[in-house]
Amino acid sequence: MKLIALFFGFVFLHILFLKVFGKAKLILRSFFLLSPFLVYLAVSASLVDIWVLLSFWIMYMVSLICSTNSLTLRIMHEISKTPEGELSEQELERKFPQRESLEARLKLMQKSGWLLPGKPDEMILSSKGLLLGTFVSRMRKVFAFKID
């Protein structure tokens, strides 16, 4: 239970760091912020506790970095920002100019059920895609990540 409280304390402080300093040097600052927690555990707990906390930190950082760098999540975020949950192909191309990569990703999103099959020039999120896109948008607000 102490580990969970420590980890959520770290996440709370990390969110504050992100809001104040931005996401530059994200991993380095995160590890710098984590080090006092590790020192505390080294003095008062076992190596297993340190290993568990480091495992949580790695999972947290992977999910954080993936949510900011994933093309699929960025596409869902852009589509979910529109009032109707739709975005024309021209608008999508303007935001993501890498045509070949974009087409392959859109086909995969449609195959996996994130996008609904529709008109050839419109991208419409399915209900699960809209839910995930909205979640990612809200998490980016919490972590103060801006989309370029």
**Mean pLDDT of the region 138-143:** 74
Decide: helix, strand or coil at residue 116. Answer: strand
Q: For residue 46, which phi and psi values (nearest 5 degrees)?
A: -100, 175
Mean pLDDT of the chain: 76
**Percent above pLDDT 90 for the chain:** 0
| Count of all residues that appear for the chain in the document | 148
Q: What is the pLDDT of residues 5-52, one digit of tens each?
A: 877 887 887 777 777 777 667 667 777 777 777 777 777 777 787 788
Closest alpha carbon to 143 in 25, 64, 32, 72? 64
Decide: helix, strand or coil at residue 56. Answer: helix
Global pTM exceeds 0.85: no
CA atoms of 14 and 144, how far apart (whole Å): 11
Give the per-residue pLDDT at 100. 64
